[in-house]
Amino acid sequence: MALVPELPAVPAAALPSDAQVLDVREDDEWEAGHLAGALHIPLAQVPQRLAELPAGQLHVVCRGGGRSQRAAEWLQGHGYDTVNVEGGMGAWAASGGAMVSENGREPEVI
């Protein structure tokens, strides 16, 4: 059995400003608040939507870090360069990170 390298991770507050972010939360979570410029593909749809992923390293985020960990590990196992965003959008918001919403309201993490 081949060894899978340990998944890299970065605390949400230390997310690089130029990171390519893949948000794997559900539609209602995304609409309430997300990082500007992030790509949204709900976790269950990731395997069917690989063609939409940009080249290069992907920072994967969800609400708290669990779903993004699973997505990042799965993607890494399929040859993608992924980093899990520890603490997810909850930690990002708590650190004062900027967000946008799609629902016309003040961005929030739900």
pLDDT tens column, 52-110: 999 999 999 999 999 999 999 999 999 999 999 999 999 999 999 999 999 999 999 99
Residues designated as active site: 62
Q: How far is CA 24 from the centre of its chain?
A: 6
Contact 62, 22 (CB under 8 A): no
**pLDDT confidence bin for 40, thresholds 50/70/90:** very high
Give the pLDDT of residue 3: 52
Spatial separation of the C-alpha atoms in residues 100 and 79, rounded to whole Å? 30
Q: Is the pLDDT of residue 1 over 60?
A: no
* CATH entry, 9-94, from 3.40.50.1100, 3.40.50.2300, 3.40.250.10, 3.30.1050.10: 3.40.250.10
Nearest to 62, CA basis, from 37, 95, 38 = 38
Q: Map out the domains of the chain as residue ranges.
A: 9-94
Spatial separation of the C-alpha atoms in residues 95 and 88, rounded to whole Å? 11
